Structure 1
């Protein structure tokens, strides 16, 4: 039985507590959070320093800017960790965390939970197996209209960019399924809510394997297209079951999340739909992630560790920089 501590009692932290309590392979040490008004039946600690019992692993679900300091603190105590995404608030913080993990010989997993969706893993395998040949292009749309109260009276009014809140997940999805991103260029759309906040834009991508891609995104436009809408993952976002990503290859094409598969030859004959049933999740991605975290604590290779997640963060932050007024349109390359 793995002894797991949850740090941070927000919405996702409470979900982690429930997942640990329901899992037969681990036991909950408690919740560390200075807010003692949080409603939970877990044992309470005001901080990690207050935990005096044995801990095998910690789930860090605190605000993003606290991920690195809390991870470094946990590493100093020899605790393996699952850190919510994004991995850290800045690249410098993420790299300091990675150094602390290496020094302490502590294993890490980062909560980019989309990688645990059965159809996502099926898509990755299909592309790796050459089901549509060599990947040539990928197009992705994420467009919703967030409700006005989401931005009122909080930090999101000026700083709630959908790049770091939302697109970071789509970037990681593309890295996981298509391959490493070598270059980006971004164009910013109009800010329609009366602030200077980034609301929409278009991103061009070049992958190391030679494929290219585009992302169109907006948080001010209602649409049926987006990962959450297509998969029904988020109860706060209406489910449409519409595809939101389209991938072409030298032998055909596939769309996601329906995993509609097309095969073809040349333009003289229309591409034909081929049978390819999409897998369904047998457990929630959060539960599958916890299964994997337990294995990682025992020495299994992580699906995404701090070093891997830092690359996703670097690309997201570079796109964010390109969308600022003094750098729009500038391309960035990654070593």
Structure 2
């Protein structure tokens, strides 16, 4: 494919993630935003607010875009930023039209439909990537390098937390957001947030093969939960994990706990969530990043995102009688945020210049872990995950 700008369409551009993708596509010299798709009444106003050119058409759905007589023609690729239960039908329409797709996580709300989508993309020779943008975060890039190079030795265990407090408007500010608290429509902290963690854990440590979940007592919508037919999604879980390598892990997940221990607060990657550092009074200029992962190995422990490797040092006896040393690992100084890096990667993949990082298959494997967690919550049993 030539180096001319890729024509991009964004589906669901008026949502939180859609807005971020829209801004990055507009700013990227290798992309041209040729269409935005969103049926919401406020889409036109949001288009103006984001600085989308007036000539860029708004369509109610993908079918309308593909059938239009727009002079720019069919897009080369599309970014799907809609609720999870719509990912497969929208992506299917795009793939069948020969459009390369970056679909936001999770790839789907069911394993079966996600697998069908992955197979369809292969059949049509179309790239299907899943928006696990944290793979492009410099802290994760550095952690992957450290683990892969053997700095921690054989990884024995991982301990992790993702916990923060989502405000009520996150769920109720707009009727279109009601899916976020609906289990059947793909809401809940497992599919919305842990799917990122599942992908990163497997990216760093290999495939998860067994999970057990204990649900955290919910704090919201207690009246609705009294109804036996309620569809309220979970707010948190305590997990035990086993990886194919033999590594084991624990994970605390909650979107109702007041806590600094979340990837967003530790790295500052989300501009809407204030960053926290481990200094006095939480002042940003003080201290290291708040840790969310601790990867324990036979040669040392790596905490992430502060990227401190704790070990005895080269040539030293591994013994509790020896003094431990803490060394901060370097990260690259690339100023681009992970969403920008992910978009550049998507461009290179579409142009045939790079192999995809988070394929549809990888996205499906992250979803599979999440579905196993939901099954464990429902059955109160340990769940093995088939390859």
Change in 2 beyond 3 A, CA 1:191/1:11: closer
Mapped pair 1:320 → 2:374:
yes
Q: Secondary structure at the match of 2:161?
A: strand
Change in 2 beyond 3 A, CA 1:292/1:197: closer
Structure 1: distance between partners of 2:215 and 2:192? 16
Structure 2: distance between partners of 1:191 and 1:45? 39
**Cα distance, 1:115 vs structure 2:** 0.4
Check the 8 A contact 1:191/1:197 in 2, yes or no: no
Check the 8 A contact 2:87/2:103 in 1, yes or no: yes
More displaced stretch, 65-74 vs 150-159: 150-159
Q: Which runs of 5+ in 1 are unaligned?
A: none
Structure 2: distance between partners of 1:88 and 1:197? 16
Structure 1: distance between partners of 2:376 and 2:99? 37
Check the 8 A contact 2:163/2:255 in 1, yes or no: yes
**Cα distance, 1:36 vs structure 2:** 5.5
CA deviations over 1:231-260 (Å, ceiling 9, x no partner): 112233332131111111110111010101
Which residue of the partner structure matches residue 161 of structure 2?
141
Mapped pair 1:34 → 2:39:
yes
Check the 8 A contact 1:258/1:278 in 2, yes or no: no
CA deviations over 1:183-220 (Å, ceiling 9, x no partner): 11111222233236422221111111111111011222
Structure 2: distance between partners of 1:155 and 1:108? 24
Check the 8 A contact 2:308/2:329 in 1, yes or no: yes
Which residue of the partner structure matches residue 44 of structure 1?
58
Check the 8 A contact 2:133/2:339 in 1, yes or no: yes
Which residue of the partner structure matches residue 304 of structure 2?
256
Number of equivalences: 333
Which structure has the larger Rg over C-alpha atoms?
Answer: 2
Structure 2: distance between partners of 1:94 and 1:220? 29
Q: Which runs of 5+ in 2 are unaligned?
A: 226-231, 277-288, 313-317
More displaced stretch, 10-19 vs 221-230: 10-19
Change in 2 beyond 3 A, CA 1:331/1:11: closer
Mapped pair 1:190 → 2:217:
yes
Mapped pair 1:333 → 2:369:
no
Check the 8 A contact 1:261/1:276 in 2, yes or no: yes
**Cα distance, 1:275 vs structure 2:** 4.6
Give the CA RMSD over aligned residues: 1.8
Change in 2 beyond 3 A, CA 1:148/1:15: closer
CA deviations over 1:245-303 (Å, ceiling 9, x no partner): 11111101110101011112122213211352344552011111110111110122111
**TM-score normalised by L of structure 1:** 0.94
Structure 2: distance between partners of 1:224 and 1:275? 20
More displaced stretch, 152-161 vs 126-135: 152-161
Structure 2: distance between partners of 1:61 and 1:129? 35
Q: Secondary structure at the match of 2:296?
A: strand
**TM-score normalised by L of structure 2:** 0.82
Match of 2:89 among 69, 79, 88: 69
Change in 2 beyond 3 A, CA 1:149/1:57: closer
Change in 2 beyond 3 A, CA 1:187/1:36: closer
Mapped pair 1:24 → 2:77:
no
